Amino acid sequence: VNEAPGSTGAEPWDVLVVGAGPAGTAVAGGLAAKGYRVLVAEEHARVGRPVQCAGLVSRRVLDLAGSSSMVVRPVRGAAVFGPSLRSITFRADGPRAFVLDRAALDVHLAERAVRSGAEIRTGLRFDRLLGPPNGEAVAELTTSEGAPVRVAARLVVGADGVASAVARAARIRRPVEILPAFEAEFPKSPGDPDQVEVYLGRTIAPGLFGWWIPDGSGGARVGVAVDADGTPARLYFERLLGRLATRFGSPLANPTSYVVSGIPIGELPRLHGDRVLLVGDAGAQVKPLSGGGIYTALRAAELAVEVGGAALAAGDLSSRGLAPYTTRWREELGDEFRRALYLRRILTRLSDAELDALVDALGGGSLAGTIVAFGDIDFPTRVVRELLAASPSLVRLLPKALGAWVAPGRAYPVPEVDPGERRK
Ligand SMILES: Cc1cc2nc3c(=O)[nH]c(=O)nc-3n(C[C@H](O)[C@H](O)[C@H](O)COP(=O)(O)OP(=O)(O)OC[C@H]3O[C@@H](n4cnc5c(N)ncnc54)[C@H](O)[C@@H]3O)c2cc1C
């Protein structure tokens, strides 16, 4: 897979995919299977490396990938810890999520794309787009030896992750927040290998949360994703390690690898341009309440294959011809994303005392059962709505707008009130 030579001759490619992460190779495989000539350019030397992910996914990801060979551990439950380390545990009878060998997922998807006829060239970095928007797209790239390469293609797919150079080149606006993330792997860790742990608190992870995820071989992946407030994410990570030392009674030692990356949160006004589609992190197709983006990248890739394939067949690769991609994404996941962004804005404004109260309230009565019954890591706002409907005490903790959102008889609208005005 890795060293397939890229032909950059005069004959244009149908599709140039930039980035060999899950989004890129899923699009490449789908379009190659439809008979199009597809080149994937990946700047790193190896597909799947370096790993920049905790690798926790739903069963949908295994279905979309067509394999479960990369699963290292199914998990049945989750424990959520408030700032004071009071916690609530949810546990289902069977697997509710899967911890993956993330590099193995990427390699599997890349091999599938190659089997479908796509060509993957590693060590090839996309730099910019040339040419008039209505002509064929000409991309300038650079090999790892520093040699410039030009590739002409009818369609360019930006699957180049959080800092998308394709989005920049195509002048597609990305009004997203990029949450700095810091993660390390510990070869040995105490803790229940059947569950993941989530840590809330303004001092350890303002903006999102910290996590402890069993790695399937006695160790754990530990990390934080936080607001970009100028404080290095590593500092929050060190504080999380302090919490874990308190929780486990001994510090975690000898980390083997570190991940320093970013998670894009937000909604792009459009995910397409003339001859360009953005897929995955490049299009901020990342779940706003968890920062998870593998399921959404793979689902977006399917939509990109359908719309991109139809546009290639019709010979209309204009922004208008590709617009159904943005429309279909919005129809399918737009409401979930907007509700999640709204909830995120509320949650990020809660004080540590309020977060503790939230954890206590979730632990009360039958709410834990509701979470187990309705919890879906890909569509988390569904369970939030069930919880709010079931618990007046929970609603009291949160702004009035949220109460209105779950009032009986209302449809499932996206609240309009900006909670930022209410809490600081
Ligand atoms: C610390 C951390 C933990 C995470 N944990 C989870 C999790 O548990 N579950 C989950 O679902 N999601 C998780 N995510 C999010 C998930 O990793 C991403 O959403 C997912 O990788 C998106 O896939 P992608 O293909 O869009 O982008 P990527 O996987 O980032 O792939 C982009 C590819 O493009 C390449 N590239 C970039 N620029 C260029 C260029 N100019 N030219 C050529 N190639 C280029 C990169 O090298 C890379 O291979 C996590 C993210 C972080 C940072």
What is the block-wise mean pLDDT of the chain (424 residues), using blocks of 10 residues? 40 94 98 98 96 93 96 93 93 91 97 98 96 78 96 96 96 94 96 95 93 96 94 96 96 93 96 97 96 97 98 96 98 92 88 90 74 78 78 68 51 41 34
Distance CA 27, CA 302 (A): 7
Closest atom, ligand 1, to C-alpha of 279: 26
Ligand 1 centre to CA of 50 (Å) is 10
Nearest alpha carbon to residue 262 among 217, 297, 211, 228:
228
Q: Give yes or no for residue 82 CB within 6 A of ligand 1.
A: no
Task: Work out the number of other CB atoms within 10 angstroms of the CB of residue 131.
Answer: 12
Q: Give yes or no for residue 160 CB within 6 A of ligand 1.
A: yes
Residue carrying the six token digits 């404004």: 349
Closest atom, ligand 1, to C-alpha of 106: 29
What integer pLDDT is reported at residue 211 of this predicted model? Answer: 96
What integer pLDDT is reported at residue 403 of this predicted model? Answer: 53
Q: Give yes or no for residue 48 CB within 6 A of ligand 1.
A: no
Dihedral class, residue 213 (left if φ above 0, else alpha if ψ from -120 to 50, else beta) = beta
Ligand 1 centre to CA of 272 (Å) is 19
Q: Give yes or no for residue 139 CB within 6 A of ligand 1.
A: no
Probe ligand 1: pick from 27, 160, 183, max atoms within 8 Å of CB? Answer: 160
Ligand 1 centre to CA of 373 (Å) is 30
Probe ligand 1: pick from 1, 196, 278, 281, max atoms within 8 Å of CB? Answer: 281
Nearest alpha carbon to residue 17 among 111, 163, 151, 171:
151
CB half-sphere exposure, 179, CA atoms < 13 A = 30
Q: Is 254 exposed, middle or buried (0-12, 13-18, 19+ CB in 10 A)?
A: exposed
Q: Give yes or no for residue 330 CB within 6 A of ligand 1.
A: no
What integer pLDDT is reported at residue 416 of this predicted model? Answer: 39
Ligand 1 centre to CA of 117 (Å) is 23
Residue carrying the six token digits 């509701």: 370
What integer pLDDT is reported at residue 390 of this predicted model? Answer: 74
Q: Give yes or no for residue 55 CB within 6 A of ligand 1.
A: yes
Task: Work out the number of other CB atoms within 10 angstroms of the CB of residue 365.
Answer: 12
Q: Give yes or no for residue 126 CB within 6 A of ligand 1.
A: yes
Ligand 1 centre to CA of 78 (Å) is 24
SS3 132: coil
Distance CA 59, CA 76 (A): 12
Ligand 1 centre to CA of 380 (Å) is 21
Residue carrying the six token digits 């954890």: 359
What integer pLDDT is reported at residue 419 of this predicted model? Answer: 35
Q: From atom 27 of ligand 1, which residue's Cα is the shortest distance away?
A: 161
Strands 119-122 and 220-225: unpaired
Ligand 1 centre to CA of 295 (Å) is 12
Q: Give yes or no for residue 165 CB within 6 A of ligand 1.
A: yes
> Exposure pattern of 179-192 as b/e (b: 16+ CB <10 Å)?
bbbbbbbbeebebe
What integer pLDDT is reported at residue 117 of this predicted model? Answer: 98
Residue carrying the six token digits 């139809």: 310
Q: Give yes or no for residue 42 CB within 6 A of ligand 1.
A: yes
Distance CA 401, CA 165 (A): 38
Residue carrying the six token digits 């990029």: 178
Q: What global pTM score does this model have?
A: 0.92
What integer pLDDT is reported at residue 418 of this predicted model? Answer: 38
Q: From atom 35 of ligand 1, which residue's Cα is the shortest distance away?
A: 19
Q: Give yes or no for residue 281 CB within 6 A of ligand 1.
A: yes
Whether the CB-CB separation of 300 and 64 falls below 8 Å is answered with: no
Q: Give yes or no for residue 377 CB within 6 A of ligand 1.
A: no
